């Protein structure tokens, strides 16, 4: 029996992976991972050839993570990604956003406490919250992001926990404010400002899942994916100099999308009060900082400029794929009432079919040649039945675009049969 070498080989039968374009997958493809493998090979050689005591990385490590990585990453985010300060004192290395988000929930909430999310949201996160000991509440979005007035209405109706020194928040609001999964939108400036105000008023912790921020293709000052600046992250609106500042926002970044998920490497930016709670826990006190070996290699890769080069190349490739796929979709099915924004970042396209058609109807006929993520699976209320999400990087561009063209063919078939002769 063939041994599965990755999650997808474990989840899907071989014939399916060989014959069907799996556009639902939101991960870098093997062609992108190959570059990361070469980077890790080069940095491993560099580390062991040039460092005085490379063996020390195998010791219990710094509680906050590899110090070189923290310094290099903070500089990279400051100079290349946000062009605004990221303070290295606030940065803690973790095992990626999924573990990062859940660890904070575990430490800061008690059973029965509430986690608010956008509707729609990350399709793996909210079903897990729903099954857990926490209370899940979905809040609708519009073009600008989560609807703050609706969130406030729900907050007023809820029985909230009383903040304590160890658990200083009444609830958590989990948001994907930049290049949102699945809608690809970024939260408006005004909404980010209002969200921080609301968090301060109700002692909420906003957990910003910032996994896509590094994948930016266009900003007000640049249409070039090599130089575009990421939208200002939500954490930057919680200004330390504000009179009302307490520290109500955390940012969870990740190397999974811009480098490789198998690195299991990400980072937090945490305000002081959350940082102290996070670090004062058995997992860190006993096990010390997360993922020191891989973290140190990525620190060396940043020092050598290899991460920067890879992310630039990735942005160019992703942006080309987005544009080409978007253009096929609009030319093939735009006239049938299908809508799709050209994203300014991230790794998805969010396609809205006419209200009279469901994505499930398309999948029913396309599933032996092309698949995608059904919109309603991203929605805690089961809405967005007419939407579908496409991941852009699992295949190289030619194969990816073949999948898109084939998908458009099925959309045309279903819409025409719905509209009748």
Ligand X SMILES: Cc1ncc(COP(=O)(O)O)c(C=O)c1O
The pair of three-digit structure tokens given for residue 88, joined into one six-digit string: 């290295």
- 179 contacts ligand X (rule: CB under 6 A): no
List beta partners, residue 350: 389
Asked if 229 and 222 count as a contact pair (C-beta separation under 8 A), the reply is yes
Q: Which of 32, 43, 181, 186 binds ligand X (CB under 6 A)?
A: 181
Instruction: Output the smallest distance, CB 104 to ligand X, in A.
Output: 13
Angle between helices 67-76 and 292-303 (to 10 degrees): 40
Instruction: Output the smallest distance, CB 386 to ligand X, in A.
Output: 21
Closer residue to ligand X in complex, CB, 131/157? 131
Q: Which of 76, 116, 122, 410 binds ligand X (CB under 6 A)?
A: 122
Closer residue to ligand X in complex, CB, 170/184? 184
- 391 contacts ligand X (rule: CB under 6 A): no
- Stretch touching ligand X by CB under 6 A, among 90-98, 112-120, 137-145, 164-172: 90-98
- 211 contacts ligand X (rule: CB under 6 A): yes
Residues 6+ apart with CB under 8 A from 128: none
The DSSP-derived string for 132-162 is SSSEEEEEEEETTEE-HHHHHHHHHHS-PPP
Size of the site for ligand X (CB under 6 A): 13
Q: Which of 24, 74, 97, 296 binds ligand X (CB under 6 A)?
A: 97
- Stretch touching ligand X by CB under 6 A, among 40-48, 95-103, 282-290, 372-380: 95-103
Q: Which of 74, 184, 186, 256 binds ligand X (CB under 6 A)?
A: 256
For ligand X, the nearest residue by Cβ is: 96
Instruction: Output the smallest distance, CB 350 to ligand X, in A.
Output: 13
Nearest CA to 166 out of 249, 272, 277 is that of 277
- 374 contacts ligand X (rule: CB under 6 A): no
Closer residue to ligand X in complex, CB, 82/267? 267
- 186 contacts ligand X (rule: CB under 6 A): no
- 28 contacts ligand X (rule: CB under 6 A): no
Instruction: Output the smallest distance, CB 254 to ligand X, in A.
Output: 3
- 98 contacts ligand X (rule: CB under 6 A): yes
Q: What's the alpha-carbon Rg for the chain, to the nearest Å?
A: 22
Instruction: Output the smallest distance, CB 397 to ligand X, in A.
Output: 21
- 251 contacts ligand X (rule: CB under 6 A): no
- 119 contacts ligand X (rule: CB under 6 A): no
- 261 contacts ligand X (rule: CB under 6 A): yes
Closer residue to ligand X in complex, CB, 210/361? 210
The b-or-e profile of 191-212 (16+ CB within 10 A means b, else e) is bbebbbbbbbebbbbbbbbbbb
What is the binding site for ligand X (CB under 6 A)?
Answer: 26, 96-98, 122, 176, 181, 209, 211, 254, 256, 261, 266
């Amino acid at each position: 029996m063939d041994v599965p070498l990755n999650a997808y080989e474990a989840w899907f039968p071989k014939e399916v992976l060989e014959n069907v374009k799996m556009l639902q997958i939101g991960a870098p493809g093997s062609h992108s991972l190959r570059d990361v493998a070469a980077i890790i090979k080069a940095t491993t050689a560099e580390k062991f050839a040039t460092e005085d005591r490379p063996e020390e990385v195998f010791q219990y490590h710094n509680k906050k993570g590899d110090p070189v990585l923290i310094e290099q990453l903070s500089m990279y985010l400051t100079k290349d990604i946000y062009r605004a300060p990221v303070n290295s004192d606030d940065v803690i290395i973790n095992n990626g956003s999924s573990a990062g988000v859940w660890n904070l929930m575990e430490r800061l909430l008690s059973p029965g406490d509430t986690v608010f999310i956008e509707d729609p949201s990350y399709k793996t996160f909210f079903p897990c919250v729903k099954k857990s000991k926490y209370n899940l509440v979905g809040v609708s979005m519009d073009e600008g992001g989560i609807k703050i007035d609706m969130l406030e209405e729900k907050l007023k109706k809820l029985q909230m926990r009383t903040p304590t020194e160890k658990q200083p928040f009444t609830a958590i609001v989990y948001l994907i404010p930049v290049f949102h999964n699945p809608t690809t939108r970024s939260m408006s400036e005004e909404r980010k400002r209002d969200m921080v105000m609301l968090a301060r008023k109700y002692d909420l912790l906003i957990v910003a899942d910032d996994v896509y921020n590094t994948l930016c293709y266009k900003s007000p000052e640049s249409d070039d994916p090599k130089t575009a600046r990421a939208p200002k992250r939500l954490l930057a609106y919680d200004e330390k100099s504000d009179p009302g500042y307490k520290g109500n926002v955390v940012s969870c970044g990740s190397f999974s999308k811009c480098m490789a998920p198998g690195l299991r490497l990400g980072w937090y930016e945490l305000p002081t009060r959350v940082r102290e709670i996070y670090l004062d826990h058995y997992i860190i006190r006993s096990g010390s900082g997360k993922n020191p070996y891989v973290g140190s290699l990525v620190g060396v890769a940043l020092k050598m400029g290899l991460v920067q080069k890879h992310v630039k190349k990735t942005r160019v490739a992703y942006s080309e794929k987005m544009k080409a796929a978007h253009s096929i979709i609009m030319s093939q099915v735009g006239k049938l009432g299908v809508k799709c924004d050209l994203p300014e970042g991230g790794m998805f396209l969010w396609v809205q079919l006419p209200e009279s058609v469901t994505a499930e109807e398309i999948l029913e006929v396309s599933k032996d040649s092309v698949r995608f993520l059904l919109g309603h699976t991203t929605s805690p209320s089961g809405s967005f039945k007419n939407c579908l999400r496409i991941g852009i990087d699992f295949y190289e561009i030619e194969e990816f675009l073949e999948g898109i063209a084939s998908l458009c063919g099925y959309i045309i078939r279903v819409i025409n049969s719905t509209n009748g002769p």
